[in-house]
Amino acid sequence: MTKVAVDAKKKRKKKGTEETPVHHIGEVNKDLLLDLAAKHGTPIFVIDHEKLRENYREFKRHMPDVQVYFAVKANSNPEIVKTLYDIGCSFDVASMPEFMIVYQNIKKIPHKQRQQWIWDKIIYANTIKPIETLEALDKYKPLVTFDNHYEILKIRDHAPHAGLVLRLRVPNTGSMVELSSKFGAHPGEAVDLIVEAFENGLVVEGLSFHVGSQCTNFENYMQALQISASIIKEVEDRTGRKIRILDIGGGFPVKYHPGIRSIRTLAKKLNAEIKRLFPADMQILAEPGRFLVANTCTLVAKVVGKAVRDGKPCYYINDGVYHTYSGQVFDHINYPVLPFKDGETQISAVFGPTCDAFDTITLSAELPELDIGDLVYSENIGAYSHASSTYFNGFPPAKVVHINK
């Protein structure tokens, strides 16, 4: 091992376990990945449906009274949606194409049953909706979110049969991806907006909030729950109407490394605070996306080029930040590039296949010497990755391969 690699390893040890990625791929699964790559070529994006089901069961085990709405935007693959539909999951959609991916699973059931399913199982959780979208949604009568005066008027005129959920702006401190700058009504105007919606003949069913994606500061949830309880009480005092839906959003953290606290810890806090603040008949919704799909997917890519630059090995693989590794840009997550082969490692750079220097995956991968044609993989890459892949330079997204369906 080179001195650079030794120094880097010592530095990571000083930082503690927080910098150590959590690995799930055992030797048996490595063999499976190699077999799949031989069969399908590379790059491949492997989705493990049994892991998906396990994640759903884990969430329900820790929060049994919370209705789970999968955030389709995290990974909109129709087969993922189908697997979750089959085990009873509900869905958070943010566009008509996402809505229609879910709708494909229910289009053949009787009309009345289908309408009831949509009402009970879908929330359109994008506060800003084009008029065309509202007009298309109105016949389905789903729950939709809003957060401002102008959206009330649009909904009144183009989707008056929808049930409304007011999204609140709440603290996002410490979350990987902050959302409050773009979405959410200030708590101080929340009650007035709900009253305005009622006055326009609309039905406000609930409140929602989002503490930010990959939230490791659990205090965000506690503050948001307290803000919501206060607003619900004021609405009931002013209008005599009851709010009986509370959507606690997403942000549930994935253990990308051991330093991230588990869902069990967060669930214990959430369950206690919900029980303390809200009546027993309050329907609690949640919108996990990342939590359900992040560790269900693995990318396998191939080394297509190599060079030595300034003494550092550089490898070029056939996937990059314009494709599956796009999550490094949009989602601020680092996906370690890992080798299938063993050997003495050294600090190496890994680049994607495009002609843009921005297509840099990492400058600090610990890799053995690789040859052109060797395979590498990245795990825990299921959320906000393939979903944001592009066709830049004409390179298509990685081929999707399903296992354990």
CA dist., res. 124 & res. 159, Å (int): 12
- Considering the domain architecture, whether residues 91 and 220 belong to the same structural domain is answered as yes
Q: What are the structure tokens assigned to 264, written together?
A: 């069990």
Number of domains in the chain: 2
- Considering the domain architecture, whether residues 186 and 99 belong to the same structural domain is answered as yes
Predicted pLDDT at 223? 87
- Considering the domain architecture, whether residues 159 and 262 belong to the same structural domain is answered as yes
CA dist., res. 104 & res. 289, Å (int): 20
Predicted pLDDT at 164? 97
Q: What is the DSSP string of 88-143?
A: T-EEEESSHHHHHHHHTTTTTS-HHHHHHHHHHHEEE--S---HHHHHHHHTT--E
In sequence order, what are the beta bridge partners of 347? 366
Please state whether beta strands 175-177 and 213-215 pair in parallel, antiparallel, or not at all (unpaired): antiparallel
Q: How far is CA 83 from the centre of its chain?
A: 16
In sequence order, what are the beta bridge partners of 298? 46
CA dist., res. 92 & res. 143, Å (int): 10
Contacts of 179 (CB under 8 A, 6+ apart): 172, 210, 212, 213
Domain boundary among 243, 267, 293: 293
- Considering the domain architecture, whether residues 192 and 267 belong to the same structural domain is answered as yes
pTM reported for the whole predicted model? 0.89
Domain boundary among 293, 316, 350: 293
- Considering the domain architecture, whether residues 116 and 259 belong to the same structural domain is answered as yes
Domain that holds residue 312: 3-47+296-403
10-residue block means of pLDDT along the chain (405 residues)? 39 40 69 97 97 96 95 97 98 97 96 94 96 96 96 98 93 52 85 97 94 67 90 95 92 71 84 94 94 95 97 97 92 90 96 96 96 97 94 97 96
- Considering the domain architecture, whether residues 87 and 194 belong to the same structural domain is answered as yes
CATH of the domain at 354: 2.40.37.10
- Considering the domain architecture, whether residues 274 and 338 belong to the same structural domain is answered as no
Predicted pLDDT at 374? 98
- Considering the domain architecture, whether residues 306 and 321 belong to the same structural domain is answered as yes
CATH of the domain at 205: 3.20.20.10
- Considering the domain architecture, whether residues 157 and 220 belong to the same structural domain is answered as yes
Catalytic residues: 355
- Considering the domain architecture, whether residues 96 and 179 belong to the same structural domain is answered as yes
- Considering the domain architecture, whether residues 43 and 56 belong to the same structural domain is answered as no
- Considering the domain architecture, whether residues 57 and 10 belong to the same structural domain is answered as no
Domain boundary among 237, 266, 293: 293
